[in-house]
Amino acid sequence: MRILLVEDDADLGLAIKQVLMSEKYVVDWVPDGAQAWLCLESQWTDYTVAIVDWLLPELSGLELCQRLRLHQNPLPVMMLTALGQPENRVAGLDAGADDYLVKPFVMEELLARLRALQRRSPQLQPPTLTVAGFTLDAANNVLQVNSDKCTPLVIPLATKEFQLLMYLMQNPDRIIPGSKLRHQLWDIDEEPISNVVAAQMRLLRRKLACHGCSCPIETLPGTGYRFNSQLRSQP
């Protein structure tokens, strides 16, 4: 999942980003609503949820949420604010927010509410994803390779390996350009080098090969990468 975090408090924004990254989310953190809208309009990134402070410079969180809904954008939004009166909650939810978290809060509650959004929103990825005999388990950060001939093979994954497989498995048989993967799986502050996707793909293939498993990801020169659902695993 890629999250857009919109928070102008530097300390809180950094703390939230670090916690989310530790949970394997890709996070873009911006300090105001105007920059957030530019991110949302980008052709490169597909966000799965936005965490938005209400009191923002340039464009408030309330106005940002209203603009999203005006453009028929169904992106789930969690509103963060110190404004905790009932009328404020009503205004935030009426503006199109899906959840409302009052400051100060503990990070465990933020993560729990994200999980609740995931359960309620069909566009958010479930904890496990299975395509063509391959199962990604987000809770344990592993790839399970199923076979009719033996017990499932369990392969531990690094964070970027997991994110790369997750995105491709969410889009089986679709050709994804390397530039799209680079912009989708590395946040806007990282500025990865142009060949980072190819390098990460080599590491992933090498890991699967070390476990005796064929890689279902095809490289299409000059075009991109594809998770081929017709290729069966061979553990």
The reported pTM is 0.69
| Residue percentage of the chain with pLDDT more than 70 | 91
Q: List pLDDT tens digits, range 161-171.
A: 888 998 899 89
Helix, strand, coil in percent for the chain, rounding step 5: 40, 20, 40
DSSP class of residue 22?
H
Quickly count: other Cβ atoms within 10 Å of residue 115's Cβ: 13
Q: List pLDDT tens digits, range 143-200.
A: 988 876 667 888 998 888 888 998 899 899 999 998 888 888 887 776 667 788 888 8
| Alpha-carbon distances of 187 from 17, 31, 196, rounded to whole Å | 11, 15, 13
* Rg of the chain in Å (alpha carbons): 19
- Rounded Cα gap, residues 85 and 184, in angstroms: 37
What letter represents residue 29's amino acid? Answer: W
Residue located via tokens 């408030």: 60
Residues pairing with 224 in the sheet: 220
The first and second tokens of residue 150, run together, are 């033996």
